[in-house]
Structure 1
Amino acid sequence: MLRTPVNTIRLSSRRALSGSRIVANKETIETPSKLASTSSLPKIEQNLLKKSPRQPSKKSPFLSSNVIESDPNYKMAGWMQQIGQTVIRVFNIDMDASRSGPVAGSKYYGECKKQSLYYPNEPLSDSARFYYETLGLPQSFSQWFQITTLHYWILTVRMRAMPFKYGKNYQQKLVDRFFKDMELRMAEELGINSNRIIEGYLKEYHSQLLGCVLSYDEGLQTDDITLAAALWRNVFNGDPNADMRHIEALLGHVRQQLYVLNKMSDRQFGFGDFEFVPPNEVVTPLTKAQEAELAAAVKKSYEGKTLPSQRSSLSLDE
């Protein structure tokens, strides 16, 4: 079923949530959640070789206390919008560069952050349940970091395909917000009061992020076996008892995201029109006719975006 350009090529939620099977190109496809849950192997808890991880003692704002980020229904006053549009037009501001902050540093970082975000005594989101209950990963800040890093990498794969000037800017805004948020969460939620200790953790996490990106890039450039090994080392913490069906499910989940991103134009992605496909949905390949239909629908949706703040040199064709 072809959905709107924003949701692109997902199946309807009813079919996906039921974990029902479909046939595409004579292959049976299941949702990642359904595939992982079919394993009959006994669950063996990971040996973290350390004390129980420190859990959040309080809950900080999801992104920030800024009203534009904290309130999805916020709308700037008309006179403020007019002033802003005039400034953009008079000074010929490059909106593709300016847009990278709110899109990559806010919208896309929020997409990464929420995938496995959890708080004690609060119900898990569907995506977080996939990681902590279906895949059996431990609930800890370090585990959240690994899952968020995976989603960060998925987005940077697409960002690196944008024109270099803008792709680099989007990547920088995303990683800057990632580490700024971790710093605040360690201080506010985990109660770490020493700046020196926080800085030490941030350096260690930065090294881990670089290693993850390198290993995932290698998998992307080679084969699924290499990418699955990278997922096992990082997301599954190299657990010798990891369930291979779970690794396979996560690999399929990652491939789904990459496929959707590959079918999005630079402008779509640059305007923040991407959302991660939930693990209880499945993506099916588009036919040539569906691709043409989708491209036409996307172009039509952008026809009315003519304000100075909506100008863009990013392509709608690639």
Structure 2
Amino acid sequence: PTGIFLRRQLARTMWTDLDLRAQQILPGQSKVRRSQLEELRSEMNAFMLALDEGLVDDDTVLAAAIWRHFRHFQPTRLENLVTLVTYIRKNIQHLEQLPDENFIKNGYVYFLPLHSDTVDTKFVNQHYLDFKNKARGFVRT
């Protein structure tokens, strides 16, 4: 149950954040926003399937998913793909180690920084409060 809850919470947080940002970029253009968000949703669903496969399989499958969906088959330095694969694996392990109550209680998910294994709790807490305050005023148009 926690995995499903976490996936839904991640998706809800991401789409709320995208909607908030889209409203700032395209104020009063709800049709354009809706169309672009629908396109993003389609791409995200495809990426999630590829990412799931990569997480279950090995690093080469995960790297291929990242390359296809983030780099769109463009030439990419191997070191950059290795960094992203390492970052994703590190954060999956981090999320798996957090107690279930952490997700259920506060509904907020945070990730480890790219080049560190230590969470800046002051930053995370402030970011969470800022996001909640913005989301409270969020109105769908």
- Aligned residue pair count: 117
Number of the residue aligned with 2:60 = 225
Please, what TM-score do these two structures have when normalized by structure 2? 0.69
Number of the residue aligned with 2:87 = 253
Number of the residue aligned with 2:127 = none
Q: Distance in 1 between matches of 2:6 and 2:100?
A: 12
Percentage of pairs with the same residue: 25
Q: Distance in 2 between matches of 1:173 and 1:254?
A: 18
Among 83, 99, 104, the residue aligned to 1:270: 104
Post-superposition offset of 1:230: 0.7
Equivalent position amino acid for 1:172 in 2: R
The 1:182/1:261 distance shift into structure 2, 3 A limit, reads closer
Q: Distance in 2 between matches of 1:210 and 1:266?
A: 25
Q: Distance in 2 between matches of 1:175 and 1:274?
A: 11
Q: Distance in 2 between matches of 1:179 and 1:269?
A: 18
Equivalent position amino acid for 1:209 in 2: M
Post-superposition offset of 1:168: 3.8
Equivalent position amino acid for 2:41 in 1: H
Post-superposition offset of 1:170: 4.7
Aligned CA-pair RMSD: 2.5
1:201 and 2:36 matched: yes
Among 239, 243, 247, the residue aligned to 2:77: 243
Larger radius of gyration: 1
Number of the residue aligned with 1:281 = 116
Post-superposition offset of 1:179: 2.2
Q: Distance in 2 between matches of 1:176 and 1:263?
A: 22
Post-superposition offset of 1:237: 3.2
Equivalent position amino acid for 1:227 in 2: L
Number of the residue aligned with 1:62 = none
Equivalent position amino acid for 2:16 in 1: K
Equivalent position amino acid for 2:89 in 1: R
Post-superposition offset of 1:199: 1.1
Equivalent position amino acid for 2:12 in 1: D
Q: Distance in 2 between matches of 1:180 and 1:258?
A: 22
Post-superposition offset of 1:253: 1.0
Equivalent position amino acid for 2:26 in 1: G
* Equivalent residues of 2:53, 2:62 under 8 A apart: yes
Using the TM superposition, name which of 170-179 and 228-237 deviates more. 170-179
Among 175, 179, 186, the residue aligned to 2:22: 186
* Equivalent residues of 2:66, 2:81 under 8 A apart: yes
The alignment partner of 2:67 has SS state of: helix
Equivalent position amino acid for 1:230 in 2: A
Post-superposition offset of 1:214: 0.1
